[in-house]
Amino acid sequence: MSVLFDRIALIGIGLIGSSLAHDIRRLGLTKEIVVATRSADTLKRAEELGLGDRYTTSSAEAVKHADLIIVSVPVGASESVAKEIAGNLQPGAIVTDVGSTKASVIAQMQPHMPENVHFIPGHPLAGTEKSGPDAGFPGLFEGRWCIFTPVAETDETALKRLRGFWEALGSKVDEMDAEHHDKVLAIVSHLPHIIAYNIVGTADDLETVTESEVIKYSASGFRDFTRLAASDPTMWRDVCLHNRDAILEMLARFSEDLAYLQRAIRWGEGDKIFELFTRTRAIRRSIVQAGQDVDAPDFGRPHPLDKK
């Protein structure tokens, strides 16, 4: 694979930043990786893992002379990072991010971006419930979508360059506007996590069922929820706060549909229940048919509880 950028600055070196570092190195996509993160302990760990060539706790320092900057921090930290790096960006540099919400990230970052850099918001649809620099692994983005949500004035050449980068990691790239992205992700990613946090919380609050019973008798369905509910609290708090409108809209629909199901169960309306369960079963089949690898490592991986 060839060098696509001379110097890549990775701001934030958790699950996503470190997975990027592994792949950039493995595929030889740059001459130099600069790693920046806020906490000295995380930076030290990144260095122990050999994730970069240079390390700093200053994002402003890291972006100097970098032609690609990838911001991989919780979405709520986007504005402070944008402010920090703005003054040191080199003309022509591409600044992108990986945040799970897009309209808010654009609102936080774009006003601080100088006119002579290319700001291209992005979101790889790949990850796990783990966080931190030890959680990353090579190949995370292979076969996964990466969605760009370009802003009106985005330069086509820069967009093509960034597309080439994600394709080199094995990703498929799509483009859509930020508001649409936020609605789609609210239903396919944000709600499932919120529901998982909630159901595990409900089980934890039960007075008549003990915690040891929840652990002892948890069936695989509940275990799947515990995997999602073990995801990083800071990251997911920020997703909830920064995709508020779309999440509330989807939650309202979800509650209505749940009330319908609740009513059907109360009144013993088996045909309604059966019709819904048949319709939803077909969705899983279409995911498999569409070539989404449901057996991939981060797609419903066996939960650590299964290991015994």
Ligand X SMILES: O=C(O)C(=O)Cc1ccc(O)cc1
Ligand Y SMILES: NC(=O)C1=CN([C@@H]2O[C@H](COP(=O)(O)OP(=O)(O)OC[C@H]3O[C@@H](n4cnc5c(N)ncnc54)[C@H](O)[C@@H]3O)[C@@H](O)[C@H]2O)C=CC1
Q: Does 42 bind ligand Y (CB under 6 A)?
A: yes
Q: How far is the CB of 161 from ligand Y (least distance, A)?
A: 21
Q: Is 75 in the site for ligand Y (CB under 6 A)?
A: yes
Q: Which of residues 152-211 bind ligand X (CB under 6 A)?
A: 189
Looking at beta carbons only, is 7 or 181 nearer to ligand X?
A: 181
Contact between 75 and 105 under an 8 Å Cβ cutoff? The reply is: yes
Determine if 70 is a binding residue for ligand Y (CB under 6 A). no
Please report whether residue 96 would count as binding ligand X according to CB under 6 A.
no
Instruction: Return the number of the residue (127 or 150) whose C-beta is nearest ligand X.
Output: 127
Residue 170: which region, alpha, beta or left (left: phi > 0; alpha: psi -120 to 50)? left
Which partner, ligand Y, ligand X, none, binds residue 12 by CB below 5 to 8 Å per kind?
ligand Y
CB of 130 to ligand X, least distance (A): 8
Q: Which residues from 217-276 bind ligand X, rule CB under 6 A?
A: none
Alpha carbon of 209 to those of 73, 216, 222: distances in Å?
Answer: 38, 11, 14
User: By rule CB under 6 A, what string of x and - marks binding of each residue 192-231 to ligand Y?
Assistant: ----------------------------------------
CB under 5 to 8 A by kind: which of ligand X, ligand Y, none does 16 bind?
ligand Y
Among 128, 149, 226, 243, binds ligand X (CB under 6 A): 128
Q: What is the C-alpha separation between 98 and 277, in angstroms, rounded? A: 34
d(CA 146, CA 164): 12
Question: Which residues, 6+ apart, have CB-to-CB distance to 51 below 8 Å?
Answer: 10, 13, 17, 18, 21, 22, 25, 33, 35, 133, 136
Site for ligand X contains 149 (CB under 6 A): no
Q: Is 52 in the site for ligand Y (CB under 6 A)?
A: no
Is residue 72 involved in binding ligand X (CB under 6 A)? no
Partner whose binding site includes residue 189, from ligand X, ligand Y, none (CB under 5 to 8 Å by kind): ligand X
Runs of H (alpha helix) within the chain: 15-27, 40-48, 59-62, 78-86, 103-109, 156-168, 178-185, 191-205, 211-217, 220-229, 233-242, 244-266, 270-289, 304-307
Count residues binding ligand X (CB under 6 A): 8
Q: What are phi and psi of 6, to 5 degrees?
A: -75, -45
Does residue number 129 form part of the binding site for ligand X (CB under 6 A)? Answer: yes
Q: Are 149 and 106 in contact (CB under 8 A)?
A: yes
The C-alpha atoms of residue 14 and residue 165 are separated, in whole angstroms, by 20
Instruction: Supply the angle between the helices 244-266 and 270-289 in degrees, to the nearest 10.
Output: 140
Q: Which residues neighbour 123 within 8 Å (Cβ) at sequence distance 6 or greater? A: 98, 99, 100, 102, 146, 147, 149, 181, 185
Contact partner, 59, from ligand Y, ligand X, none, Cβ < 5-8 Å per class: ligand Y
CB count in 10 Å sphere of residue 69: 28
Q: Of the candidates 25, 27, 32, 38, which one interacts with ligand Y according to CB under 6 A?
A: 38
Query: Quick check: 14 binds ligand Y (CB under 6 A)?
Result: yes
For ligand X, the closer of residues 72 and 128 by Cβ is: 128
Cβ neighbors of 235 (< 8 A, separation 6 or more) are 74, 75, 100, 131
CB of 108 to ligand Y, least distance (A): 11
What does the binding site for ligand X look like in residue numbers (CB under 6 A)?
Answer: 100, 125-129, 189, 298
What does the binding site for ligand Y look like in residue numbers (CB under 6 A)?
Answer: 11-17, 37-39, 42, 59, 72-75, 77, 80-81, 98-100, 124, 127-128, 131-132, 232, 235, 239
